Every structure is written in structure tokens, then in C-alpha cells.
């Protein structure tokens, strides 16, 4: 077991998050809104960073489920796995012959794609379980993280075997069964309040040969262009000005060749406001400047805050983290 003092910060590949938002955006999800509310970087689709911390991603999953409903969420999440995520990893199973071989390999893949997680393939009393261990939190964010993990392994095995397989038993750590029950076969037994999240893999499926064709791993449709909405276009257009100016709504409207009234009306039509756009811009630029090594005092002054305390409170309200904690946990920098 990893020592808690040396265990890496739980992370997940940025590409997974982009795919989730891509799939859900086609069903009425407002991108900048969920990025802001989850605490993810507002410039997520322009970042070249390979990993994100898992906490805002878990918040994202919960927010998506709240907006589309539990049943629709499960269907869309499985669609994201089936069409976009799993085809990217199937090529890594080319040396595996059976599902048992593949699941041994899957632990390596999942631990690599989600550093800091604890994924294992274990035998218990003659039965095999694919397990995910994490410190328990009594929160909806933790629950939806479990839903994500369980549906991922089910979809992976279905893709490898080209069947509609479902496990006979599933264990979760949380005490709320409803979020997962709607996604499982009615013959699957679900046990709550367990020590780990685990999926039972029966012997018949373990010995089943895998079948991967070239069409299974071909690239799917690319991510959509993220400036199709007015508010996303505004964000991109104003981004170059934020480092040097504390923009007012009048200044922003003038830059975009609009009246302030028209500008605010267009934003309201997309259920956002100039204040929300400005906060997203502030967070994006703050993160960029921290990555470039500037002090928090410099960043605060650059963005037009009266003092560093006002800046810190605003940053925490938007991202869920203080600037110092962001530098320490996300950037790995000493404050």
C-alpha cells in the first residue's frame, strides 16, 4: 500500500474530461457554466496540460448528472465511453488473448491514466474482482466518481467481448444505490457501504477470448469547435485584454462593436452574464500567470484587485481553491 505522505495527488487525463463535455454539450449543457461551477480551468479546451485533479472532475460529473437527469446521464456517459474513450485504449490490449489477460493489463492502463488512484484485479474466495480503492467521502461527488468507474469497466468488457455483458455483483463504498441501479442489468446485485468499489468478473467472461478489429480502434469524430456559442466567443475575444485591463462591461462591449445593452442581452440569452465571463477570464489568466512564475501580489495588482486578500477570496469563490493551494496542489510549486 502506498504511504499517504508519498502518494501522488489523484489526477485524470484531461482528454477524458474534454470528451465528456463534448458529448454532453450536444444535449444543452452550457460549457462555460459547468467549467466554472466545477472548478475546472475555463480555458480547458486550449490547455496542453495532460492531467487534471480528480476533485473538479468529480464535481463536473455530478453537475452533468444534475442537469440531464440520472437516467440520461448514465446513457450519455456510456455513450462517451463507447464512442470516444474506449476506442483510444483498445490498441493497448493487442497482446492479450482472454479477458483475464486484458484485465491484468487494464490495471496498468487505468493507473497510468489516473495517477494517484488505486486500481487492482484481485481474487477473493475463488472469485475475481476488478477494484478501485479511494478514501471514502460521504458526498455526491464521491458517489458519481464510483458510477464513472463501474460503468467504465462494464463498457470496456463489453467492447472487448462484443457482448452485452453485465456483472452478477457490484460493490460500492457509498450508501446511495439509486445513481447506479438505473445503469445496471436487473439481475445485477448491488452492495452498498463496502470497503472498495468492485465489479465481479465471472469465470465464463474471464476465459472469453477478446476480439479487437481495426474499426474498433479507429478515430471517431473530432472534438467540436468550442466557439460556436456567443459567450464562448466573447471569452476568447476578451482573453488578450485581461492581463492589462480590469475590463468594464462598457469597455468589453466597445471592443466587440456592440452597445452595452445588446451585449448584456446576448449574454443573458445564453444564461450567463458579463460578471460570470469576467470571473472565468480572471481565473484563466491567474492560472497562466502562476504557471509563468509570477507572485500572487503581482497577479493581484495586474488584474486590478485592491489587495491580495480580495484577489484570494475571488479566486477561491470561482475555483474552490485558494491561490496558494492551487499553486501547491495543481502546479506543484512552493508558495
Task: Tell me whether residue 6 is in a domain.
Answer: no
Q: Are residues 175 and 267 in the same domain?
A: no
Across 27-31, 158-162, 240-244, the highest mean pLDDT is recorded for 158-162
Task: Tell me whether residue 21 is in a domain.
Answer: yes
Q: Are residues 35 and 66 in the same domain?
A: yes
Last residue of a domain, one of 179, 195, 217: 217
Task: Tell me whether residue 4 is in a domain.
Answer: no
pLDDT at 6: 44
Q: Are residues 175 and 263 in the same domain?
A: no
Please spell the DSSP secondary structure of 119-161, one letter per residue.
Answer: EEEEEETTEEEEEEE-----SHHHHHHHHHHHHHHHHHHHHHH
CA distance linking residue 179 with residue 45, whole number of Å: 29
Map grid coordinates 445503469 to a residue.
183
pLDDT at 333: 53
Task: Tell me whether residue 5 is in a domain.
Answer: no
CA distance linking residue 262 with residue 236, whole number of Å: 18
Q: Are residues 253 and 205 in the same domain?
A: no
Q: Are residues 49 and 82 in the same domain?
A: yes
CATH number at residue 304: 1.10.10.60
Segment 68-82 mean pLDDT: 84
The better pLDDT of the pair 43, 162 is held by 162
- How many structural domains compose the chain? 2
Q: Are residues 310 and 193 in the same domain?
A: no
Residues above pLDDT 70, as percent of the chain: 90
pLDDT at 330: 58
**pLDDT surpasses 90 at 114:** no
**pLDDT surpasses 50 at 227:** no
Q: Are residues 197 and 246 in the same domain?
A: no
Q: Are residues 63 and 137 in the same domain?
A: yes
Task: Tell me whether residue 118 is in a domain.
Answer: yes
Task: Tell me whether residue 203 is in a domain.
Answer: yes
Last residue of a domain, one of 167, 187, 217: 217
Reference 291, options 98, 41, 76, 27; nearest CA is 41
Last residue of a domain, one of 217, 248, 274: 217
Q: Are residues 139 and 269 in the same domain?
A: no
Mean of pLDDT over the chain: 83
pLDDT at 151: 95
Give the residue numbers spanning the domain of 303. 230-329
CATH number at residue 148: 3.90.1520.10
pLDDT at 226: 43
Segment 90-114 mean pLDDT: 91
Task: Tell me whether residue 1 is in a domain.
Answer: no
**pLDDT surpasses 60 at 277:** yes
* Banded pLDDT at 2 (limits 50, 70, 90): very low
Q: At 307, is the secondary structure helix, strand, or coil?
A: coil
pLDDT at 219: 53
**pLDDT surpasses 90 at 45:** no
The better pLDDT of the pair 261, 290 is held by 261
Reference 51, options 332, 335, 334; nearest CA is 332
Residue 315 exposed, middle or buried by CB count within 10 Å (0-12, 13-18, 19+): buried
pLDDT tens per residue across span 115-124 = 877 899 999 9
pLDDT tens per residue across span 245-254 = 678 899 888 8
Q: Are residues 189 and 258 in the same domain?
A: no
Q: Are residues 268 and 210 in the same domain?
A: no
* Banded pLDDT at 222 (limits 50, 70, 90): very low
DSSP 8-state class, residue 7: P
Q: Are residues 188 and 253 in the same domain?
A: no
Amino acid at each position: 500500500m502506498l504511504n499517504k505522505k508519498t502518494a501522488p495527488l489523484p489526477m485524470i487525463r484531461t482528454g477524458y474530461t474534454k470528451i465528456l463535455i463534448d458529448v454532453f454539450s450536444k444535449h444543452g449543457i452550457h460549457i462555460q457554466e459547468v467549467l466554472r461551477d466545477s472548478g475546472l480551468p475555463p480555458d480547458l479546451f486550449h490547455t496542453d496540460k495532460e492531467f487534471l485533479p480528480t476533485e473538479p472532475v468529480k464535481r463536473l460529473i455530478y453537475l452533468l448528472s444534475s442537469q440531464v437527469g440520472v437516467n440520461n446521464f448514465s446513457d450519455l456517459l456510456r455513450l462517451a465511453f463507447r464512442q470516444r474513450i474506449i476506442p483510444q485504449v483498445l490498441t493497448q490490449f493487442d497482446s492479450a488473448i482472454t479477458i483475464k489477460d486484458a484485465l491484468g493489463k487494464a490495471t496498468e492502463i487505468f493507473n497510468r491514466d489516473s495517477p494517484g488512484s488505486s486500481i487492482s484485479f484481485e481474487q477473493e474466495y475463488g472469485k475475481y474482482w476488478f477494484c478501485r480503492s479511494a478514501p471514502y467521502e460521504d458526498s455526491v461527488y464521491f458517489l458519481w466518481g464510483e458510477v464513472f468507474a463501474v460503468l467504465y469497466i462494464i463498457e470496456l468488457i463489453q467492447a472487448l467481448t462484443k457482448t452485452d455483458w453485465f456483472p452478477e455483483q457490484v460493490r460500492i463504498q457509498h450508501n446511495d444505490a439509486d445513481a447506479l441501479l438505473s445503469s445496471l442489468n436487473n439481475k445485477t446485485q448491488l452492495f452498498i457501504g463496502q470497503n472498495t468499489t468492485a465489479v465481479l468478473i465471472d469465470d465464463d467472461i474471464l476465459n472469453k477470448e477478446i476480439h479487437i478489429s481495426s474499426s474498433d480502434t479507429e478515430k471517431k469524430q473530432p472534438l467540436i469547435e468550442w466557439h460556436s456559442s456567443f459567450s464562448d466567443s466573447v471569452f476568447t475575444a476578451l482573453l488578450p485584454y485581461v492581463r492589462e485591463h480590469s475590463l468594464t462591461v462598457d469597455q468589453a462591449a466597445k471592443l466587440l462593436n456592440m452597445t452595452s445593452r445588446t451585449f448584456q442581452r446576448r449574454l443573458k440569452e445564453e444564461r450567463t452574464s458579463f460578471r460570470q465571463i469576467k470571473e472565468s477570464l480572471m481565473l484563466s489568466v491567474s492560472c497562466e500567470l502562476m504557471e509563468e512564475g509570477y507572485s500572487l501580489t503581482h497577479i493581484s495588482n495586474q488584474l486590478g484587485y485592491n489587495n491580495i486578500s480580495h484577489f484570494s477570496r475571488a479566486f477561491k469563490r470561482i475555483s474552490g481553491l485558494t491561490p496558494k493551494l492551487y499553486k501547491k496542489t495543481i502546479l506543484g510549486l512552493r508558495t
